Amino acid sequence: MYRALYLTYRPQTFADLAGQTHIAETLRHAVKTKKFAHAYLFSGSRGTGKTTAARILAKAINCLSPLEGEPCLSCEHCQLIEQGETLDVLELDAASNRGIEDIRTLRDATLLRPSKLPYKVYIIDEVHMLTQEAANALLKTLEEPPDYVVFILATTDPQKLPATIVSRTQRFDFKRLLPDVIQSRLQMVAEKEGIKLEAGAIRLLSVHAEGGMRDALALLDQARAFAGETITKAHVEQLLGIPQDVHIEALLQAIETAKLQEISRILQEMYADGRDAVRILTTLMQAMRERVLGQKEHEQTQDRFDATRRERLLTIMTQMLTLEPLLRRSYDPFLFLEVGLIKASAESHAPSATGSTIKQADGDGVHLKAVEKAASTFQTKASGSNQKTSESIEPPSERTLSAHPGETSPSSRKTTRREQKGVWQSGSTDKLIPFLDEVSLLHIQSYQSRWSELLNRIKAYDIRTEAWFKQGTPAAVHEDMLLIVFSKALHRETVEKEEHRIRIEQALADVFGRPLKFMAVMEEDWLRTREEVRSGKKAEAMVDGSHEDPLVREAIELVGEAYVEVIDRRKKG
């Protein structure tokens, strides 16, 4: 039968007790000088060596030929304890034996002298789990223990112990093990077991054991079962669901540049690859943190763009902080990760947020202001098409157009259209679907709020362009493409002409601080497509009743009902 590595390589001596040198040394000295206490309290998080130390201590004080306070491990007493063949050393798990009767039985047993060994040793694990009555009964025993009895109480949660018990014991706090300590032990175990362990793999295992040796060795066991005798970094990443660097890099890039579709695509890839949503989030946060800190070191040589970029990262990170608890409670953490990252990315690129960041880049707490501003921008849902200004200027007359007869001929228009990305082909509503992404709709508000500023800018270039363009309404934005809807075909077609398009796109870049294109569509096409997509989504959501789910409700509160789509991945897997 296979024996778990953490059992096989459990430390047998104080000297071998990794990472708790001070405790081990104190205990060894106490045994050596025969000045050990009759009640110990070992506290510390799981896997830090509490019960291991208790067993070593039980052997050491009973050993027939101890060596400098260490158990010899070969005498009759050491062997009896090791094999669990003596009732003089007893381990009790207080998590499952927590009642008053259990402790009474134990107390009665302490009244009898040990049958074979010099000392009776009672190791009570998770002692904080005892009931009130049981704890009181234990306290009585601790107050006047027979001199042949040693109690070793172990707990992961010393705060829950009555102070009266704690004060009767000699207490040792076991520290979490540092990754270095875990790493060298993993190295040793791997060598003895003939496992080839890549340096990157060891590092990952030791970090993800979170300070516990038992977890570290259990992970090594799993990795071996998964990968065989040669374990690479990629194996461990796969095992732990840790995202790969290249994916994190790509994701960070997409978030920083607000490539929302790309964020979604990379996440889907990572999901299919079995990566863990919480680990993706934490790894991403670490990568962002490194970028922000890395940038700060070169602050003197930084230009304005770098400062903006850093504040943008901080804005995103601030939002991501609130995501982790949501992910941990969610049955579909990927959904929350996706919505959360897309939202954070889109909001950090909203002109209002970026604008405020640039203006206040010298002050403290800049990113918080940006977040507040972004939050208020998105409090109300984007409404899309009813933002027309009441002010109305007649568009340029037909005569103005006929001054350029070449442009209106069908053939030349066709050529121009093929060259221009984003020109609307009537009837091809598929092109509109990306704009119906929840975040696109959410995002457009910040453009709508600065629409008059944009029109003024266009007017400064050419008043005719502005007169045509202002007939349209910003309805959605997707990546670098603004969707403008028009109710009259003439207006729509005219703004698409090269001369107008150039001015409009220049003005867009001026006002919003990044290259933007626009697509002009007919209002009726836009509204119809939007209705089709929305009614499709609504029907799905009603069928599975997922709105009942508290997490879905929470998501809806977070971003608004129109923007939450529920995908139950369990049904597919």
User: Which stretch, 66-74, 113-121, 446-454, 551-559, contacts Zn ion (CB under 5 A)?
Assistant: 66-74
Q: How many residues bind Zn ion (CB under 5 A)?
A: 5
Q: Which is nearer to Zn ion, 119 or 451 (CB)?
A: 119
Query: Applying CB under 5 A, which of residues 37, 72, 139, 292 lies at the interface with Zn ion?
Result: 72
Q: Which is nearer to Zn ion, 63 or 485 (CB)?
A: 63
Helix (H, G, I), strand (E, B) or coil at 178: coil
Q: Which is nearer to Zn ion, 59 or 343 (CB)?
A: 59
Give me the helices (H) in 257-380, please.
260-272, 277-297, 304-321, 323-329, 333-349, 351-359, 366-377
Query: Applying CB under 5 A, which of residues 15, 37, 75, 527 lies at the interface with Zn ion?
Result: 75
Task: State in angstroms the smallest separation of the CB of 218 from Zn ion.
Answer: 29
Task: State in angstroms the smallest separation of the CB of 76 from Zn ion.
Answer: 8
Q: Which is nearer to Zn ion, 66 or 355 (CB)?
A: 66
Contacts of 300 (CB under 8 A, 6+ apart): none
Is 266 one of the binding residues for Zn ion (CB under 5 A)? no
Task: State in angstroms the smallest separation of the CB of 61 from Zn ion.
Answer: 10
User: Which stretch, 59-67, 174-182, 292-300, 521-529, contacts Zn ion (CB under 5 A)?
Assistant: 59-67
Q: Cα–Cα distance between 96 and 81 in angstroms, integer?
A: 22
User: Which stretch, 71-79, 167-175, 287-295, 456-464, contacts Zn ion (CB under 5 A)?
Assistant: 71-79
Q: Which is nearer to Zn ion, 71 or 333 (CB)?
A: 71
Task: State in angstroms the smallest separation of the CB of 10 from Zn ion.
Answer: 17
Q: Cα–Cα distance between 72 and 391 in angstroms, integer?
A: 96
Among positions 312-331, residues that touch Zn ion (CB under 5 A) are: none
Q: Which is nearer to Zn ion, 64 or 393 (CB)?
A: 64
Q: Cα–Cα distance between 147 and 170 in angstroms, integer?
A: 16
Query: Applying CB under 5 A, which of residues 58, 60, 63, 195 lies at the interface with Zn ion?
Result: 63
DSSP 363-388: STTHHHHHHHHHHHHTSSPP--S---
User: Which stretch, 64-72, 161-169, 261-269, 385-393, contacts Zn ion (CB under 5 A)?
Assistant: 64-72
Contacts of 67 (CB under 8 A, 6+ apart): none
Q: Which is nearer to Zn ion, 78 or 182 (CB)?
A: 78
User: Which stretch, 55-63, 320-328, 471-479, 564-572, contacts Zn ion (CB under 5 A)?
Assistant: 55-63
Residues 410, 414, 416: CA angle, nearest 5 degrees? 120
Task: State in angstroms the smallest separation of the CB of 81 from Zn ion.
Answer: 9
Contacts of 264 (CB under 8 A, 6+ apart): 338, 342
Amino acid at 7: L
Q: Which long-range contacts (CB under 8 A, 24 or more apart) does 96-99 make?
A: 98/129, 98/130, 98/131, 98/134, 99/131, 99/133, 99/134
CA dihedral 505, 506, 510, 514 (to 10 degrees): 50
Q: Which is nearer to Zn ion, 63 or 522 (CB)?
A: 63
Q: Which is nearer to Zn ion, 92 or 117 (CB)?
A: 117
Residue with tokens 């109480």: 153
User: Which stretch, 56-64, 92-100, 104-112, 267-275, contacts Zn ion (CB under 5 A)?
Assistant: 56-64
Q: Which is nearer to Zn ion, 75 or 109 (CB)?
A: 75
Cβ atoms within 10 Å, residue 554: 14
Residue with tokens 């000392």: 119
Task: State in angstroms the smallest separation of the CB of 157 from Zn ion.
Answer: 33
- Per-residue contact string for residues 9-48; x = within reach of Zn ion by CB under 5 A: ----------------------------------------
Instruction: Return the structure tokens found at 219.
Output: 């992970």
Task: Outline where DSSP puts E strands in 58-101.
Answer: 89-93
Helix (H, G, I), strand (E, B) or coil at 545: coil
Task: State in angstroms the smallest separation of the CB of 248 from Zn ion.
Answer: 52
Q: Cα–Cα distance between 338 and 555 in angstroms, integer?
A: 11
Among positions 77-96, residues that touch Zn ion (CB under 5 A) are: 78
Instruction: Return the structure tokens found at 365.
Output: 């707490």
Calculate the alpha carbon distances from 549 to 391, 541, 545, 552, 563 in Å. Answer: 46, 12, 8, 5, 16
Q: Which is nearer to Zn ion, 123 or 288 (CB)?
A: 123
Contact 344, 252 (CB under 8 A): no
Task: State in angstroms the smallest separation of the CB of 13 from Zn ion.
Answer: 11
Which residues in this chain contact Zn ion in the complex, by CB under 5 A?
A: 63, 71-72, 75, 78
